[in-house]
Chains A and B, each alone.
Chain A
Amino acid sequence: MKDNQNQISKIFLPVRFLTGRFTIIFFILFSLAIIPISRFDQNISTTVRVFIIDAFSPIFNVISKPVFFAKRVSKEVNTIFNLHSELKRLAKENEQLMVWQQVGYRLTYENNSLRELLNVSKEPLIDGISARVIADSSGLFVRTFIINAGSLNGVDSGQAVVSSRGLVGRISETGLRTARVLQITDMNSRIPVIISPSNQRAILAGDNSDTSHLLFLTDKKQDLIDNYVITSGHGGLFPPGIRIGLVSHFDEGSVRVRPFVNWSQVEYVKVLTLKDD
Protein backbone atom coordinates (compact mmCIF):
# COMPACT_ATOMS: atom_id res chain seq x y z
CA MET A 1 0.00 0.00 0.00
CA LYS A 2 2.77 2.36 1.06
CA ASP A 3 4.87 1.42 -2.00
CA ASN A 4 1.91 2.22 -4.22
CA GLN A 5 1.53 5.63 -2.60
CA ASN A 6 5.24 6.31 -3.02
CA GLN A 7 5.06 5.38 -6.69
CA ILE A 8 2.05 7.65 -7.23
CA SER A 9 3.75 10.54 -5.47
CA LYS A 10 6.91 9.90 -7.54
CA ILE A 11 4.86 10.25 -10.71
CA PHE A 12 2.84 13.25 -9.57
CA LEU A 13 5.61 15.26 -7.91
CA PRO A 14 7.20 16.43 -11.19
CA VAL A 15 3.70 17.03 -12.61
CA ARG A 16 2.82 19.24 -9.62
CA PHE A 17 6.16 21.00 -9.94
CA LEU A 18 5.58 21.67 -13.65
CA THR A 19 1.98 22.80 -13.06
CA GLY A 20 3.20 25.19 -10.39
CA ARG A 21 5.81 26.65 -12.73
CA PHE A 22 3.28 26.84 -15.55
CA THR A 23 0.78 28.70 -13.31
CA ILE A 24 3.40 31.31 -12.40
CA ILE A 25 4.44 31.82 -16.02
CA PHE A 26 0.80 31.95 -17.13
CA PHE A 27 -0.13 34.63 -14.57
CA ILE A 28 2.95 36.73 -15.36
CA LEU A 29 2.31 36.54 -19.12
CA PHE A 30 -1.39 37.25 -18.62
CA SER A 31 -0.60 40.35 -16.52
CA LEU A 32 1.85 41.57 -19.14
CA ALA A 33 -0.68 40.92 -21.91
CA ILE A 34 -3.46 42.96 -20.31
CA ILE A 35 -1.29 45.99 -19.55
CA PRO A 36 -1.54 47.40 -23.13
CA ILE A 37 -5.37 47.20 -22.92
CA SER A 38 -5.30 50.36 -20.77
CA ARG A 39 -3.57 52.14 -23.62
CA PHE A 40 -5.25 50.79 -26.73
CA ASP A 41 -8.79 49.88 -25.73
CA GLN A 42 -10.08 51.79 -22.74
CA ASN A 43 -13.68 50.69 -23.26
CA ILE A 44 -13.02 47.11 -22.11
CA SER A 45 -11.13 48.12 -18.98
CA THR A 46 -13.65 50.89 -18.19
CA THR A 47 -16.62 48.50 -18.39
CA VAL A 48 -14.97 46.00 -16.02
CA ARG A 49 -13.75 48.75 -13.67
CA VAL A 50 -17.21 50.30 -13.42
CA PHE A 51 -18.78 46.91 -12.69
CA ILE A 52 -16.22 46.09 -9.96
CA ILE A 53 -16.43 49.51 -8.31
CA ASP A 54 -20.23 49.32 -8.28
CA ALA A 55 -20.01 45.86 -6.71
CA PHE A 56 -17.61 47.06 -4.01
CA SER A 57 -19.37 50.37 -3.35
CA PRO A 58 -21.11 49.11 -0.16
CA ILE A 59 -17.66 48.26 1.29
CA PHE A 60 -16.28 51.67 0.23
CA ASN A 61 -19.29 53.31 1.85
CA VAL A 62 -18.75 51.49 5.13
CA ILE A 63 -14.98 51.97 5.35
CA SER A 64 -15.15 55.66 4.48
CA LYS A 65 -17.61 56.44 7.29
CA PRO A 66 -15.16 56.19 10.22
CA VAL A 67 -12.73 58.37 8.27
CA PHE A 68 -15.34 61.10 7.86
CA PHE A 69 -16.34 60.75 11.48
CA ALA A 70 -12.70 61.22 12.59
CA LYS A 71 -12.29 64.15 10.21
CA ARG A 72 -15.46 65.79 11.51
CA VAL A 73 -14.35 65.36 15.14
CA SER A 74 -10.95 66.90 14.38
CA LYS A 75 -12.66 69.77 12.54
CA GLU A 76 -15.00 70.35 15.50
CA VAL A 77 -12.10 70.38 17.95
CA ASN A 78 -10.25 72.81 15.67
CA THR A 79 -13.31 75.05 15.48
CA ILE A 80 -13.66 75.14 19.26
CA PHE A 81 -10.03 76.20 19.67
CA ASN A 82 -10.26 78.85 16.95
CA LEU A 83 -13.74 80.07 17.81
CA HIS A 84 -12.78 83.66 18.64
CA SER A 85 -10.58 84.28 15.61
CA GLU A 86 -13.06 82.48 13.36
CA LEU A 87 -15.91 84.69 14.63
CA LYS A 88 -13.90 87.81 13.91
CA ARG A 89 -13.00 86.54 10.42
CA LEU A 90 -16.62 85.68 9.63
CA ALA A 91 -17.90 89.06 10.81
CA LYS A 92 -15.39 90.79 8.53
CA GLU A 93 -16.24 88.48 5.64
CA ASN A 94 -19.95 89.10 6.22
CA GLU A 95 -19.43 92.86 5.95
CA GLN A 96 -17.64 92.40 2.64
CA LEU A 97 -20.29 90.00 1.37
CA MET A 98 -23.09 92.48 2.19
CA VAL A 99 -21.40 94.97 -0.11
CA TRP A 100 -21.01 92.30 -2.79
CA GLN A 101 -24.65 91.31 -2.39
CA GLN A 102 -25.73 94.83 -3.34
CA VAL A 103 -23.36 94.78 -6.33
CA GLY A 104 -24.73 91.33 -7.26
CA TYR A 105 -28.37 92.49 -7.19
CA ARG A 106 -27.55 95.52 -9.32
CA LEU A 107 -25.54 93.51 -11.85
CA THR A 108 -28.19 90.78 -12.09
CA TYR A 109 -30.87 93.38 -12.78
CA GLU A 110 -28.64 95.12 -15.34
CA ASN A 111 -27.68 91.82 -16.97
CA ASN A 112 -31.31 90.67 -17.24
CA SER A 113 -32.41 94.03 -18.68
CA LEU A 114 -29.65 94.01 -21.29
CA ARG A 115 -30.37 90.37 -22.22
CA GLU A 116 -34.02 91.22 -22.70
CA LEU A 117 -33.15 94.29 -24.73
CA LEU A 118 -30.76 92.39 -27.00
CA ASN A 119 -32.98 89.28 -27.12
CA VAL A 120 -30.09 87.03 -25.99
CA SER A 121 -30.95 83.33 -25.78
CA LYS A 122 -31.26 82.01 -22.23
CA GLU A 123 -28.29 80.23 -20.63
CA PRO A 124 -29.18 76.65 -19.64
CA LEU A 125 -29.95 76.30 -15.94
CA ILE A 126 -27.47 74.30 -13.90
CA ASP A 127 -28.57 71.77 -11.33
CA GLY A 128 -26.43 69.70 -8.99
CA ILE A 129 -26.26 66.19 -7.57
CA SER A 130 -24.57 66.04 -4.18
CA ALA A 131 -22.31 63.07 -3.54
CA ARG A 132 -19.82 61.85 -0.97
CA VAL A 133 -16.23 60.82 -1.71
CA ILE A 134 -16.08 57.13 -0.78
CA ALA A 135 -12.63 56.11 -2.06
CA ASP A 136 -9.40 57.75 -3.10
CA SER A 137 -8.20 55.76 -6.11
CA SER A 138 -5.18 57.96 -6.90
CA GLY A 139 -1.79 56.56 -7.71
CA LEU A 140 1.49 57.84 -9.06
CA PHE A 141 0.08 58.31 -12.56
CA VAL A 142 -3.55 59.08 -11.81
CA ARG A 143 -5.47 61.52 -9.66
CA THR A 144 -8.98 60.16 -9.30
CA PHE A 145 -11.51 59.48 -6.59
CA ILE A 146 -14.82 57.65 -6.36
CA ILE A 147 -18.16 59.18 -5.36
CA ASN A 148 -21.36 57.46 -4.24
CA ALA A 149 -23.58 58.70 -7.08
CA GLY A 150 -23.92 57.06 -10.47
CA SER A 151 -26.12 56.89 -13.54
CA LEU A 152 -29.13 56.00 -11.35
CA ASN A 153 -28.77 59.47 -9.80
CA GLY A 154 -28.35 61.20 -13.16
CA VAL A 155 -24.54 61.31 -13.23
CA ASP A 156 -22.97 61.02 -16.67
CA SER A 157 -19.42 61.01 -18.06
CA GLY A 158 -17.95 64.44 -18.73
CA GLN A 159 -20.01 66.36 -16.17
CA ALA A 160 -18.23 68.95 -14.05
CA VAL A 161 -17.65 68.22 -10.36
CA VAL A 162 -17.34 71.10 -7.90
CA SER A 163 -16.79 71.58 -4.19
CA SER A 164 -17.76 74.62 -2.13
CA ARG A 165 -14.46 76.22 -3.17
CA GLY A 166 -14.48 75.61 -6.91
CA LEU A 167 -13.94 73.09 -9.69
CA VAL A 168 -12.65 69.69 -8.55
CA GLY A 169 -12.69 67.70 -11.79
CA ARG A 170 -14.96 65.85 -14.19
CA ILE A 171 -16.71 62.49 -14.28
CA SER A 172 -14.55 60.00 -16.17
CA GLU A 173 -16.38 56.69 -15.55
CA THR A 174 -19.98 56.13 -14.51
CA GLY A 175 -21.42 53.07 -12.86
CA LEU A 176 -24.95 52.57 -11.61
CA ARG A 177 -24.30 53.73 -8.05
CA THR A 178 -20.78 55.12 -8.25
CA ALA A 179 -18.69 57.31 -10.51
CA ARG A 180 -14.99 58.03 -10.88
CA VAL A 181 -13.91 61.68 -10.85
CA LEU A 182 -10.77 62.77 -12.73
CA GLN A 183 -9.22 65.58 -10.68
CA ILE A 184 -8.18 68.83 -12.41
CA THR A 185 -4.60 68.05 -11.34
CA ASP A 186 -4.53 64.69 -13.18
CA MET A 187 -2.09 64.60 -16.08
CA ASN A 188 -4.94 63.74 -18.50
CA SER A 189 -7.11 66.68 -17.45
CA ARG A 190 -7.56 69.50 -20.03
CA ILE A 191 -10.04 72.30 -19.34
CA PRO A 192 -10.73 75.40 -21.49
CA VAL A 193 -10.42 78.44 -19.23
CA ILE A 194 -10.48 82.23 -19.20
CA ILE A 195 -8.02 84.25 -17.14
CA SER A 196 -9.74 87.18 -15.53
CA PRO A 197 -9.41 90.20 -15.61
CA SER A 198 -6.76 89.94 -18.38
CA ASN A 199 -9.42 88.08 -20.40
CA GLN A 200 -7.06 85.61 -22.04
CA ARG A 201 -8.12 82.16 -23.14
CA ALA A 202 -6.05 79.06 -22.37
CA ILE A 203 -6.22 75.37 -21.57
CA LEU A 204 -5.65 74.32 -17.98
CA ALA A 205 -3.60 71.12 -17.91
CA GLY A 206 -2.81 68.97 -14.89
CA ASP A 207 0.48 67.16 -14.30
CA ASN A 208 -0.25 65.20 -11.09
CA SER A 209 1.25 67.93 -8.90
CA ASP A 210 -0.56 70.31 -6.53
CA THR A 211 -0.71 73.03 -9.18
CA SER A 212 -1.84 72.89 -12.83
CA HIS A 213 -0.35 74.81 -15.77
CA LEU A 214 -1.77 76.88 -18.59
CA LEU A 215 -1.31 75.81 -22.21
CA PHE A 216 -1.74 77.92 -25.37
CA LEU A 217 -1.51 81.19 -23.46
CA THR A 218 -0.81 83.97 -25.96
CA ASP A 219 0.63 86.56 -23.62
CA LYS A 220 2.65 85.27 -20.67
CA LYS A 221 2.94 88.58 -18.88
CA GLN A 222 4.15 88.72 -15.30
CA ASP A 223 1.07 90.69 -14.25
CA LEU A 224 -0.96 87.50 -14.64
CA ILE A 225 -0.02 86.63 -11.08
CA ASP A 226 -3.12 86.54 -8.82
CA ASN A 227 -5.47 86.60 -11.82
CA TYR A 228 -8.57 84.43 -11.50
CA VAL A 229 -8.90 81.30 -13.63
CA ILE A 230 -12.47 80.29 -14.46
CA THR A 231 -14.01 77.82 -16.92
CA SER A 232 -14.72 79.35 -20.32
CA GLY A 233 -17.47 76.91 -21.30
CA HIS A 234 -15.86 76.35 -24.71
CA GLY A 235 -16.49 72.89 -26.05
CA GLY A 236 -19.79 72.76 -24.19
CA LEU A 237 -18.61 70.25 -21.59
CA PHE A 238 -18.42 72.56 -18.58
CA PRO A 239 -20.71 75.50 -17.77
CA PRO A 240 -18.87 78.84 -18.08
CA GLY A 241 -17.78 80.82 -15.03
CA ILE A 242 -16.92 78.06 -12.56
CA ARG A 243 -14.03 79.28 -10.45
CA ILE A 244 -10.90 77.14 -10.52
CA GLY A 245 -7.98 78.97 -8.95
CA LEU A 246 -5.42 81.76 -9.04
CA VAL A 247 -2.33 82.17 -11.22
CA SER A 248 0.31 81.53 -8.58
CA HIS A 249 3.75 81.63 -10.19
CA PHE A 250 5.89 81.09 -13.28
CA ASP A 251 7.93 77.90 -13.45
CA GLU A 252 10.44 77.37 -16.26
CA GLY A 253 8.28 79.29 -18.71
CA SER A 254 5.00 77.67 -17.73
CA VAL A 255 2.28 79.59 -15.90
CA ARG A 256 1.15 77.70 -12.81
CA VAL A 257 -2.36 77.83 -11.33
CA ARG A 258 -3.11 76.97 -7.72
CA PRO A 259 -6.66 75.56 -7.44
CA PHE A 260 -8.97 77.03 -4.77
CA VAL A 261 -10.00 73.55 -3.73
CA ASN A 262 -8.35 72.22 -0.59
CA TRP A 263 -7.76 68.58 -1.54
CA SER A 264 -7.37 67.35 2.01
CA GLN A 265 -10.85 68.63 2.91
CA VAL A 266 -12.89 67.41 -0.04
CA GLU A 267 -15.60 65.23 1.49
CA TYR A 268 -18.74 66.19 -0.38
CA VAL A 269 -18.92 67.32 -4.00
CA LYS A 270 -21.61 68.44 -6.41
CA VAL A 271 -21.93 67.02 -9.92
CA LEU A 272 -23.27 69.75 -12.20
CA THR A 273 -26.06 68.77 -14.57
CA LEU A 274 -28.14 70.76 -17.02
CA LYS A 275 -31.61 71.46 -15.68
CA ASP A 276 -34.62 70.85 -17.92
CA ASP A 277 -36.76 73.98 -18.25
Chain B
Amino acid sequence: MPNLISQNFYRLLKNSLPGFSLFIFIFFSILPLGLSPFKISSSIAIIPIFYWSIYRPDLFPIYFVFIAGLLYDLITGGPLGQWALIFILLRVIMETQRKVLMGKKFNVEWLAFIIVVPLVFLIIFIIGLLIYEKLINFSDLIFQIIFTISIYPIIIIGMHKIRIFINE
Protein backbone atom coordinates (compact mmCIF):
# COMPACT_ATOMS: atom_id res chain seq x y z
CA MET B 1 0.00 0.00 0.00
CA PRO B 2 2.71 2.55 0.96
CA ASN B 3 4.49 1.51 -2.24
CA LEU B 4 1.36 2.37 -4.25
CA ILE B 5 1.11 5.77 -2.57
CA SER B 6 4.76 6.55 -3.27
CA GLN B 7 4.33 5.38 -6.88
CA ASN B 8 1.32 7.65 -7.30
CA PHE B 9 3.19 10.52 -5.73
CA TYR B 10 6.15 9.93 -8.05
CA ARG B 11 3.82 9.91 -11.07
CA LEU B 12 2.17 13.12 -9.86
CA LEU B 13 5.57 14.77 -9.53
CA LYS B 14 6.54 13.60 -13.01
CA ASN B 15 3.28 14.84 -14.51
CA SER B 16 3.65 18.25 -12.91
CA LEU B 17 7.00 18.83 -14.67
CA PRO B 18 5.48 20.54 -17.78
CA GLY B 19 3.61 23.02 -15.58
CA PHE B 20 6.67 23.51 -13.41
CA SER B 21 8.77 24.24 -16.52
CA LEU B 22 6.40 27.08 -17.43
CA PHE B 23 6.93 28.70 -14.02
CA ILE B 24 10.69 28.23 -14.35
CA PHE B 25 10.56 30.16 -17.65
CA ILE B 26 8.36 32.88 -16.17
CA PHE B 27 10.83 33.48 -13.35
CA PHE B 28 13.83 33.11 -15.64
CA SER B 29 12.53 35.84 -17.94
CA ILE B 30 12.47 38.37 -15.10
CA LEU B 31 15.96 37.65 -13.78
CA PRO B 32 17.78 40.95 -13.30
CA LEU B 33 20.58 40.10 -15.73
CA GLY B 34 20.86 43.72 -16.84
CA LEU B 35 18.26 46.41 -17.33
CA SER B 36 19.14 47.02 -20.96
CA PRO B 37 16.36 47.08 -23.61
CA PHE B 38 18.15 44.11 -25.19
CA LYS B 39 17.37 41.79 -22.32
CA ILE B 40 16.15 38.22 -22.23
CA SER B 41 12.82 38.40 -23.96
CA SER B 42 9.72 38.02 -21.83
CA SER B 43 8.32 35.91 -24.64
CA ILE B 44 10.55 32.91 -23.83
CA ALA B 45 7.67 31.73 -21.62
CA ILE B 46 5.77 30.80 -24.78
CA ILE B 47 8.30 28.04 -25.51
CA PRO B 48 7.01 25.55 -22.90
CA ILE B 49 3.40 26.34 -23.88
CA PHE B 50 4.17 25.75 -27.55
CA TYR B 51 6.00 22.50 -26.81
CA TRP B 52 3.71 20.92 -24.22
CA SER B 53 0.52 21.86 -26.12
CA ILE B 54 1.81 19.72 -28.98
CA TYR B 55 3.26 16.80 -27.01
CA ARG B 56 1.39 16.59 -23.70
CA PRO B 57 -1.68 18.87 -23.67
CA ASP B 58 -3.23 16.52 -21.11
CA LEU B 59 -0.61 17.68 -18.56
CA PHE B 60 -1.09 21.31 -19.46
CA PRO B 61 -4.72 22.22 -18.67
CA ILE B 62 -6.31 25.42 -19.99
CA TYR B 63 -7.06 26.85 -16.52
CA PHE B 64 -3.43 26.33 -15.49
CA VAL B 65 -2.18 28.19 -18.58
CA PHE B 66 -4.65 31.01 -17.88
CA ILE B 67 -3.51 31.38 -14.25
CA ALA B 68 0.15 31.34 -15.31
CA GLY B 69 -0.56 34.04 -17.91
CA LEU B 70 -2.40 36.19 -15.42
CA LEU B 71 0.43 35.81 -12.93
CA TYR B 72 2.91 36.82 -15.62
CA ASP B 73 0.81 39.90 -16.38
CA LEU B 74 0.80 40.88 -12.73
CA ILE B 75 4.56 40.43 -12.29
CA THR B 76 5.51 42.31 -15.44
CA GLY B 77 4.30 45.86 -15.71
CA GLY B 78 2.37 45.41 -18.97
CA PRO B 79 -1.38 45.44 -19.62
CA LEU B 80 -3.32 43.00 -17.43
CA GLY B 81 -4.71 40.10 -19.45
CA GLN B 82 -2.22 40.38 -22.31
CA TRP B 83 -0.13 37.30 -21.52
CA ALA B 84 -3.18 35.40 -20.26
CA LEU B 85 -4.79 35.87 -23.68
CA ILE B 86 -1.60 34.97 -25.56
CA PHE B 87 -0.99 31.85 -23.44
CA ILE B 88 -4.56 30.57 -23.93
CA LEU B 89 -4.65 31.27 -27.68
CA LEU B 90 -1.31 29.55 -28.12
CA ARG B 91 -2.38 26.58 -26.01
CA VAL B 92 -5.63 26.14 -27.98
CA ILE B 93 -4.12 26.70 -31.44
CA MET B 94 -1.13 24.41 -30.88
CA GLU B 95 -3.36 21.62 -29.58
CA THR B 96 -5.35 21.78 -32.82
CA GLN B 97 -2.08 21.50 -34.77
CA ARG B 98 -0.56 18.64 -32.78
CA LYS B 99 -1.59 15.99 -35.34
CA VAL B 100 0.22 17.96 -38.04
CA LEU B 101 3.37 18.53 -36.00
CA MET B 102 3.76 15.34 -33.94
CA GLY B 103 6.30 12.89 -35.25
CA LYS B 104 7.64 15.39 -37.77
CA LYS B 105 11.28 16.42 -38.04
CA PHE B 106 12.58 19.15 -35.76
CA ASN B 107 12.85 21.58 -38.70
CA VAL B 108 9.07 21.46 -39.22
CA GLU B 109 8.45 22.10 -35.52
CA TRP B 110 10.90 25.02 -35.51
CA LEU B 111 9.30 26.44 -38.66
CA ALA B 112 5.93 26.39 -36.88
CA PHE B 113 7.53 28.22 -33.96
CA ILE B 114 9.06 30.76 -36.36
CA ILE B 115 5.52 31.48 -37.63
CA VAL B 116 4.05 31.64 -34.12
CA VAL B 117 6.55 34.09 -32.54
CA PRO B 118 5.85 37.10 -34.83
CA LEU B 119 2.11 36.48 -34.33
CA VAL B 120 2.60 36.61 -30.56
CA PHE B 121 4.47 39.90 -30.90
CA LEU B 122 1.76 41.18 -33.23
CA ILE B 123 -0.80 40.63 -30.43
CA ILE B 124 1.52 42.36 -27.91
CA PHE B 125 1.99 45.21 -30.38
CA ILE B 126 -1.76 45.67 -31.01
CA ILE B 127 -2.67 45.51 -27.30
CA GLY B 128 0.17 47.92 -26.43
CA LEU B 129 -0.92 50.31 -29.17
CA LEU B 130 -4.52 50.29 -27.90
CA ILE B 131 -3.53 50.74 -24.25
CA TYR B 132 -0.61 53.16 -24.48
CA GLU B 133 -1.40 54.76 -27.89
CA LYS B 134 2.31 54.76 -28.65
CA LEU B 135 4.58 52.93 -31.06
CA ILE B 136 7.44 50.84 -29.77
CA ASN B 137 11.08 50.74 -30.74
CA PHE B 138 11.24 48.38 -33.71
CA SER B 139 14.88 47.38 -33.17
CA ASP B 140 13.88 46.17 -29.71
CA LEU B 141 10.95 44.22 -31.22
CA ILE B 142 13.11 42.60 -33.91
CA PHE B 143 15.75 41.68 -31.33
CA GLN B 144 13.17 39.98 -29.11
CA ILE B 145 11.66 38.03 -32.04
CA ILE B 146 15.09 36.83 -33.23
CA PHE B 147 16.18 36.01 -29.68
CA THR B 148 13.07 33.93 -28.95
CA ILE B 149 13.35 32.03 -32.24
CA SER B 150 17.08 31.39 -31.85
CA ILE B 151 16.90 30.11 -28.28
CA TYR B 152 14.17 27.56 -29.14
CA PRO B 153 16.45 24.71 -30.35
CA ILE B 154 18.60 24.95 -27.21
CA ILE B 155 15.65 24.87 -24.83
CA ILE B 156 13.95 22.07 -26.72
CA ILE B 157 16.83 19.71 -25.91
CA GLY B 158 15.92 19.99 -22.21
CA MET B 159 12.18 19.79 -22.89
CA HIS B 160 12.67 16.66 -24.97
CA LYS B 161 14.58 15.00 -22.11
CA ILE B 162 11.77 15.90 -19.68
CA ARG B 163 9.21 14.41 -22.08
CA ILE B 164 11.12 11.14 -22.34
CA PHE B 165 11.39 11.05 -18.54
CA ILE B 166 7.63 11.63 -18.14
CA ASN B 167 6.76 8.95 -20.71
CA GLU B 168 8.98 6.30 -19.06
Q: Show the binding face of A for B, using Cβ within 8 Å.
A: 20, 23-24, 27-28, 30-39, 45, 48-49, 52-53, 56, 59-60, 63-64, 67-68, 133-145, 172, 180, 183, 185, 187-188, 207-210, 263-267
Residue-wise interface mask of B (36-47) relative to A, using a CB-CB cutoff of 8 A (1 in contact, 0 not): 110100100000
Q: Is the CB of B63 within 8 A of A38?
A: no
Complex formed: what's the CA distance from A264 to B31 in Å? Answer: 12
Q: Is the CB of A136 within 8 A of B88?
A: no
Residues of A close to B124: CB separation below 8 A: 139-141
Q: Which of B31, B66, B77, B141 has the most CB of A within 10 A?
A: B77
B137 within 8 A of A: yes
Closest chain-B Cβ to A183's Cβ sits at a distance in Å of 7
Residue-wise interface mask of B (67-80) relative to A, using a CB-CB cutoff of 8 A (1 in contact, 0 not): 00101001111111
Q: Is the CB of A35 within 8 A of B127?
A: yes
Q: Is the CB of A133 within 8 A of B35?
A: yes
Q: A67-B32, A140-B141, A140-B144 are in contact. Are A35 and B79 (CB under 8 A)?
A: yes
Not counting A35-B79, A133-B32, a sample of 16 additional A-B residue pairs whose C-beta atoms are within 8 angstroms of each other reads A23-B62, A31-B81, A31-B82, A35-B80, A35-B82, A35-B130, A38-B80, A56-B75, A64-B32, A136-B30, A136-B32, A136-B39, A137-B77, A139-B42, A140-B78, A207-B137
Across the two chains, which residue of chain B brings its CB closest to A20? B62
Q: Which 6 A-B pairs have the closest CB atoms?
A: A264-B34, A31-B85, A34-B81, A38-B79, A142-B77, A263-B35
B27 within 8 A of A: yes
Q: A27-B63, A34-B81, A49-B74 are in contact. Are A140 and B128 (CB under 8 A)?
A: yes
Complex formed: what's the CA distance from A241 to B99 in Å? Answer: 63
Residue-wise interface mask of B (12-39) relative to A, using a CB-CB cutoff of 8 A (1 in contact, 0 not): 0000000000000001101111111101
B166 within 8 A of A: no
- How many B residues touch A, CB cutoff 8 Å? 45
Q: Is the CB of B32 within 8 A of A134?
A: yes
Residues of B close to A183: CB separation below 8 A: 35
Complex formed: what's the CA distance from A183 to B32 in Å? Answer: 14
Residues of A close to B136: CB separation below 8 A: 140-141, 208
Question: Which of B39, B62, B128 contacts A27, CB < 8 Å?
Answer: B62
Complex formed: what's the CA distance from A63 to B137 in Å? Answer: 29
Q: Is the CB of B81 within 8 A of A37?
A: yes
Q: A31-B88, A134-B32, A136-B31 are in contact. Are A209 and B140 (CB under 8 A)?
A: yes
Complex formed: what's the CA distance from A34 to B73 in Å? Answer: 11
Q: A39-B131, A136-B31 are in contact. Are A27 and B84 (CB under 8 A)?
A: yes
Closest chain-A Cβ to B149's Cβ sits at a distance in Å of 16
Complex formed: what's the CA distance from A140 to B121 in Å? Answer: 9
Question: Which of B71, B84, B132 contacts A141, CB < 8 Å?
Answer: B132
Question: Which of B34, B79, B132, B134 contacts A263, CB < 8 Å?
Answer: B34
Q: List 24 A-B contacts (CB under 8 A).
A: A24-B92, A28-B85, A30-B66, A30-B81, A31-B84, A32-B81, A33-B81, A34-B84, A39-B131, A48-B80, A53-B75, A60-B30, A133-B32, A136-B35, A138-B39, A139-B77, A140-B124, A140-B144, A172-B77, A180-B77, A208-B140, A263-B36, A264-B36, A267-B32
Residues of B close to A63: CB separation below 8 A: 27-28, 31
Complex formed: what's the CA distance from A20 to B92 in Å? Answer: 11
Residues of A close to B82: CB separation below 8 A: 31, 35
Residues of A close to B59: CB separation below 8 A: none
Closest chain-B Cβ to A264's Cβ sits at a distance in Å of 4
